[in-house]
Amino acid sequence: MKDLKIKISGTSGQGIISSGDILSYATARKGYYVTTYRAFPSEIRGDGKCYYTLRISEHKALTATGSTDILVCLDEDTIYECISSMAPNGILIYDSNLVKELKVERQDIVPYPIPLATIAKSINSERSRNMVALGIVVGILKNLHLEEQILKDIELRYRLKSQEIIDLNKKALNAGVKYVEENLVRKDLFNKAEMKSTGAKLIMSGNEAIGLAALTAGCRFFSGYPITPATEIMEWLAKELPKFGGKMIQCEDEIAAINYALGASYAGVKSMTATSGPGFSLMQEALGLASMAELPVVIADVQRCGPSTGVPTKTEQSDLFAAMYGTHGDCPKIVLAPMDVADCFYQTINAFNFAEQYQVPVIILSDASLGPRRECVDLIDIENIKIVNRQKPDLKEGDVYNRYQDTETGISPITSPGDKYGEHVITGLEHTEANAPTPDPNVHRQMTEKRFRKLETAAGQFSKAKTYGDDDATIGIISWGSTSGPVFEAIDKAAGKGIKVQALYPRTLYPLPTDWIKGFIKNKEVVIVVEANYNAQFKSTIVERCAHINKGMEVLEFLKYDGTPFTPEEIFEEIEKVAKLQEEKNQLSTNKHTHF
């Protein structure tokens, strides 16, 4: 067995997230690859449903979405909700104290009714049903040898609570494992399931990866306002920044948050904020100020369903237009989108480097499926990460310093309060090279061009767009951000069925890497743009800017906007459909040719 998906589900407050987290840490620490997907309601308790999917594998997997091998349900509702997404021969574990009669029609799965409540009661901890259930899973997957590591992880997770809580959780886990050994008559195929451990790796969430990268890049100031699903970034930095003399400031609103960051950046300190859609809307004006005043700043937008409050805990890729064009005026900025947790780290490093080097705001577009998702990351060589700092002028007494000196690259050396002879005033008004406000038409034209010239300079430095799949394929897929994981897996699946497809994943979305996109579409007959929004935001950008270079090519869209991330299966089905149409079309044109 190389690959296994476990889904734990239930009602908010039943400990779904805790048990999922503990299991993901333990599997990673045993040396298996793990990636996860968490879905939870906005309510803390109540009858909202929680789902925690883990995919454990020998090789790095790109998504945890898709069919489930082991489904663990702590309530009844989620059984009927999730049963259809189970893989053939999968195991269903549910609480027989709660569900008297299982009304499930699928004959190709193995149901295990387990008296979870009775077992929990027997150790005097009725609230520990989640840990008993985890014990059942660990018992079933005996050959993965997870028990010892999970006990360690229980200790780590609850070390700040009390010894009593640690002991209860451990007891509950042991009781689950014991139940499998003594009472469970095995009918499933996972009895002999084994997996190769592939050595040390890291495990973190997308949000933590952004925080870690910020710290690594030298960010020492973060200002923010709590918002789902981005809050974890500020919580993590609140804990770590002060250890480095840095600061995490909680502000009165998102407008304050970005303006604090701009003040700190003006002071010469690398600064950042993080938010989600509603907060991102509030930040737009200050984003334009950063662009106009040429101040480095990094903004992480962990996207969720919009518009307005939308669905706060569910994912969407619908802030692309807002990121690219949200601010009024001609506003140079850079927009990056990471595809997985490791990429969250490396793209955030890039974000700080670009912001400092080109003195522009840089936006990182993560999303609700990526931010909270915990997954394995290969070891990071932290001491050899390239860090860029802003370029300072060399000034001596009597020098006249022009903050916005027009240069070949568009980049003007920058000073900060505290630097001698570098005094200057920055402003959101159009200004001369000597930073004096002016409405002069020639100056506005010249300075607009200067600011955009920085992006031309930057374009040469952007990480190369990644391609995946067959170079000769005539079917192409373009995707961005977290959607690229399921796309790449769908391509593997298609290759297995003899369908050639190639994917393009541009890491930088703005300025649009038109050269790479044009190069990619040159030899394609059809390109499908896969993204999680209704307006086909990236597709329309590509059609507008790039599609003209291959007029015979068809640009299709495959969209999802229900709040859930793409699965490789649904993308594969779309590929199959398109491939079939393509074949028919080619046949038709061949026939026509013969006919004439």
Each residue 355-384 as x (binds other proteins by CB under 8 A) or -, in order, gives ----------------------x--x-xx-
Considering only the stretches 2-10, 64-72, 158-166, 263-271, report the one whose residues sit in contact with other proteins under the rule CB under 8 A. Answer: 263-271
The Cα 402–Cα 294 span in angstroms is 13
* Closest to other proteins by CB, 27 or 174: 27
When binding is defined by CB under 8 A, the residue of 269, 311, 495, 556 that contacts other proteins is: 269
State the nearest-atom distance from the C-beta of 444 to other proteins, in Å.
Answer: 17
State the nearest-atom distance from the C-beta of 72 to other proteins, in Å.
Answer: 26
Does position 267 bind other proteins by CB under 8 A? yes
Angle at 202 between CA 85 and CA 339, to 5 degrees: 55
Considering only the stretches 129-137, 183-191, 421-429, 448-456, report the one whose residues sit in contact with other proteins under the rule CB under 8 A. Answer: 421-429
User: Of residues 229-248, which lie at the interface with other proteins (CB under 8 A)?
Assistant: 239-240, 242-245, 247
The Cα 52–Cα 42 span in angstroms is 15
Q: What are phi and psi of 272, to 5 degrees?
A: -155, 160
Q: Which two tokens stand for residue 439?
A: 């409405």
Largest CA distance in the chain: 88
Considering only the stretches 71-79, 166-174, 410-418, 523-531, report the one whose residues sit in contact with other proteins under the rule CB under 8 A. Answer: 410-418
State the nearest-atom distance from the C-beta of 249 to other proteins, in Å.
Answer: 6
Report how far apart, in Å, the C-alpha atoms of 288 and of each of 67, 232, 333, 339, 553 are: 44, 26, 9, 26, 37
Each residue 278-297 as x (binds other proteins by CB under 8 A) or -, in order, gives -------xx--x---x----
State the nearest-atom distance from the C-beta of 256 to other proteins, in Å.
Answer: 4
Q: Which residues pair with 33 in a beta bridge?
A: 57
Half-sphere exposure of 12 (CA within 13 A, CB side): 12
Can you spell out the DSSP letters for 101-140? S-----SSSEEEEE-HHHHHHHTT-GGGHHHHHHHHHHHH
When binding is defined by CB under 8 A, the residue of 262, 302, 339, 458 that contacts other proteins is: 262
Please count the residues of this chain forming the interface with other proteins, following the rule CB under 8 A: 64
Considering only the stretches 419-427, 477-485, 536-544, 578-586, report the one whose residues sit in contact with other proteins under the rule CB under 8 A. Answer: 419-427
Does position 272 bind other proteins by CB under 8 A? no
Does position 447 bind other proteins by CB under 8 A? no
Q: What are phi and psi of 425, to 5 degrees?
A: -115, 130
When binding is defined by CB under 8 A, the residue of 42, 126, 191, 200 that contacts other proteins is: 200
State the nearest-atom distance from the C-beta of 422 to other proteins, in Å.
Answer: 7
Considering only the stretches 65-73, 262-270, 444-452, 488-496, report the one whose residues sit in contact with other proteins under the rule CB under 8 A. Answer: 262-270
When binding is defined by CB under 8 A, the residue of 212, 334, 414, 526 that contacts other proteins is: 212
Considering only the stretches 256-264, 455-463, 559-567, 576-584, report the one whose residues sit in contact with other proteins under the rule CB under 8 A. Answer: 256-264
Q: Does residue 511 have a cis bond before it (omega within 30 degrees)? A: yes
State the nearest-atom distance from the C-beta of 2 to other proteins, in Å.
Answer: 24
When binding is defined by CB under 8 A, the residue of 80, 159, 161, 429 that contacts other proteins is: 429
State the nearest-atom distance from the C-beta of 212 to other proteins, in Å.
Answer: 7
Asked whether 347 and 337 are in contact (CB, 8 A), the reply is: yes
When binding is defined by CB under 8 A, the residue of 41, 48, 393, 422 that contacts other proteins is: 422
Does position 387 bind other proteins by CB under 8 A? no
When binding is defined by CB under 8 A, the residue of 71, 91, 168, 261 that contacts other proteins is: 261
Does position 585 bind other proteins by CB under 8 A? no
Considering only the stretches 60-68, 81-89, 213-221, 487-495, report the one whose residues sit in contact with other proteins under the rule CB under 8 A. Answer: 213-221
Does position 148 bind other proteins by CB under 8 A? no
Nearest to 520 by CA among 503, 533, 543: 503
Does position 440 bind other proteins by CB under 8 A? no
Nearest to 2 by CA among 33, 40, 28: 33
Does position 253 bind other proteins by CB under 8 A? yes
* Closest to other proteins by CB, 402 or 582: 402
When binding is defined by CB under 8 A, the residue of 68, 125, 271, 350 that contacts other proteins is: 271
Does position 274 bind other proteins by CB under 8 A? no
The Cα 247–Cα 241 span in angstroms is 6
Asked whether 6 and 57 are in contact (CB, 8 A), the reply is: no
Does position 263 bind other proteins by CB under 8 A? yes
Question: What secondary structure, in 3-state letters, does 526-551 show?
Answer: EEEEEECCCCCHHHHHHHHHCHHHCC
* Closest to other proteins by CB, 17 or 87: 17
The Cα 127–Cα 13 span in angstroms is 10
The Cα 232–Cα 210 span in angstroms is 10
Does position 23 bind other proteins by CB under 8 A? no
Does position 116 bind other proteins by CB under 8 A? no
The Cα 581–Cα 317 span in angstroms is 28
Does position 76 bind other proteins by CB under 8 A? no
Q: What are phi and psi of 200, to 5 degrees?
A: -65, 140
Nearest to 405 by CA among 361, 440, 454, 441: 454
The Cα 452–Cα 458 span in angstroms is 10
Does position 223 bind other proteins by CB under 8 A? yes
Does position 428 bind other proteins by CB under 8 A? yes
Burial class (CB in 10 A: 0-12, 13-18, 19+), 239: exposed
Angle at 594 between CA 590 and CA 596, to 5 degrees: 115
Pairing of strands 271-275, 221-224: parallel
Instruction: For CA atoms 478, 484, 487, 489, give the dihedral sign.
Output: positive
Q: Which positions touch other proteins (CB under 8 A)?
A: 29, 200, 202-204, 208, 212, 215-216, 220-221, 223, 239-240, 242-245, 247, 249, 251-253, 255-257, 259-269, 271, 285-286, 289, 293, 377, 380, 382-383, 416-429, 434-437
